[in-house]
Amino acid sequence: GENVEQHPSTLSVQEGDSAVIKCTYSDSASNYFPWYKQELGKGPQLIIDIRSNVGEKKDQRIAVTLNKTAKHFSLHITETQPEDSAVYFCAAPRGDNFNKFYFGSGTKLNVKP
Amino acid sequence: NAGVTQTPKFQVLKTGQSMTLQCAQDMNHNSMYWYRQDPGMGLRLIYYSASEGTTDKGEVPNGYNVSRLNKREFSLRLESAAPSQTSVYFCASNGQLGNSPLHFGNGTRLTVT
């Protein structure tokens, strides 16, 4: 079945530095790859997503890259700020059932002021 | 728009007690989901409802039942709670058959003693 692996589990950066989180997936039929940010005590919230027909998507300081051949996708945050501190999750749907999303185990990002 | 609303926010049960977690969305979404979140394990799908009148099992359905009461509401029932069901439960919805962003509620933190 689908398996999504996410690394690293924790990441600490200095304010202003960049942060990169990577995910790999196993189902070659997956074609939609969202990233969620979860703040303490709240539900995950979508921050960016990418579909399999493009290799990169940017939204201000956040970007996602996708390598379908290697089956991995990455979240890039530039010029990090303390408010970026949160837990980030990647996800991918099963190719045979797009209702079934598999989530990575999460990355706790700490941005030090 | 309130988005996805979950009640209650917190609950403590004794082993063997039953309870129902409520979820409602006001975005006219077709699909609704129940996930559980445990430390270091990301989000795991319990049950989902692709459309009003249908429900299907996810990764971890044992010990749970669901009801899609109407298009807006999707409830999760624990008939006989067990300590292994101590977790944070999230309801989510999206507008299409997968391949679109999930909108999450803020969760129910359940402790079973």
Please name every residue paired with B24 in a beta bridge, in sequence order, or none if there are none: B5, B73
Which of B7, B35, B43 is the mutation pick for testing A, counting most A CBs within 10 A?
B43
Q: Which of these, B26, B49, B39, lies nearest to B97 by C-alpha position?
A: B49
Give me the pLDDT at residue A2, please: 54
- CA B28 to CA A100: how far, in whole Å? 20
Give me the pLDDT at residue A1, please: 45
Question: How far is the alpha carbon of B79 from chain A, nearest alpha carbon, in Å?
Answer: 24
Find the CB nearest A43 among B41, B99, B104. B104
Residue B42 has pLDDT above 90, yes or no: no
* Residues 6+ positions from A44 with CB-CB distance below 8 Å: A36, A37, A38, A89, B43, B90, B102, B104
Residue A100 has pLDDT above 90, yes or no: no
Give me the pLDDT at residue A24, please: 96
Question: How far is the alpha carbon of A43 from chain B, nearest alpha carbon, in Å?
Answer: 4
Which residues in chain B touch residue A6, judged by CB atoms under 8 angstroms apart? 42
- CA B2 to CA B70: how far, in whole Å? 17
Average pLDDT for B36-54? 90
CB of A3 within 8 Å of a chain B CB? The answer is no
Which residues in chain A touch residue B102, judged by CB atoms under 8 angstroms apart? 34, 36, 44, 46, 91, 101
Give me the pLDDT at residue A101, please: 87
Residue B62 has pLDDT above 50, yes or no: yes
- CA A88 to CA A104: how far, in whole Å? 9
Nearest-by-CA chain B residue for A9: B40
- Hey, what are A13's tokens? 């950066």
CB of A86 within 8 Å of a chain B CB? The answer is no
Banded model confidence at residue B96, pLDDT cuts 50, 70, 90: low
CB of A84 within 8 Å of a chain B CB? The answer is no
- B98 to A101: CB separation less than 8 angstroms, yes or no: yes
Give me the pLDDT at residue A53, please: 83
Banded model confidence at residue B100, pLDDT cuts 50, 70, 90: confident
- CA B71 to CA B66: how far, in whole Å? 14
* Residues 6+ positions from B53 with CB-CB distance below 8 Å: B68
